[in-house]
């Protein structure tokens, strides 16, 4: 196998591994969110949240449930729980600060 073929195979394997990790992370968020909703409101509300997420693509109840689940079921601080449920904030918060700072930068 040529050097290029080996790199393509390794990158393809890494891509598959990342896809599986992303799916596992999404499943973890769903389980934690549904579990908190179930503990607080009952089994059928947890099922309703999953139905909303799957069929109507409305994931807000699961996301909020994941935040409160990490806080109340696992005992996490609210900042850690929010970053767990909304990992995009890790990238958005510094970007917002950089944008604000660029407004004050002299031209």
Q: What is the DSSP code string of 79-106?
A: HHHHHHH-TTHHHHHHHHHHHHHHHHS-
Number of structural domains found in the chain: 1
Question: Whole-model pTM?
Answer: 0.75
Sign of CA dihedral 68, 32, 73, 93: negative
Per-10-residue mean pLDDT for the chain, 107 residues long?
Answer: 65 84 93 96 95 92 95 95 88 85 78
- Domain range spanning residue 69? 3-104
Contact 57, 49 (CB under 8 A): no
Tokens 């409160």 -> residue: 68
């Amino acid at each position: 196998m040529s050097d290029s073929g080996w790199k393509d195979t390794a990158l393809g394997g890494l891509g598959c591994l990342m896809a599986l990790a992303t799916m596992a992370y999404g499943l973890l968020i769903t389980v934690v969110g549904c579990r908190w909703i179930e503990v607080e409101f009952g089994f059928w509300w947890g099922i309703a949240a999953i139905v909303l997420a799957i069929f109507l693509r409305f994931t807000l109840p699961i996301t909020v449930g994941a935040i409160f689940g990490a806080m109340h079921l696992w005992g996490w601080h609210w900042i850690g729980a929010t970053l767990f449920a909304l990992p995009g904030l890790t990238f958005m918060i510094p970007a917002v600060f950089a944008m604000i700072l660029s407004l004050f930068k002299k031209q």
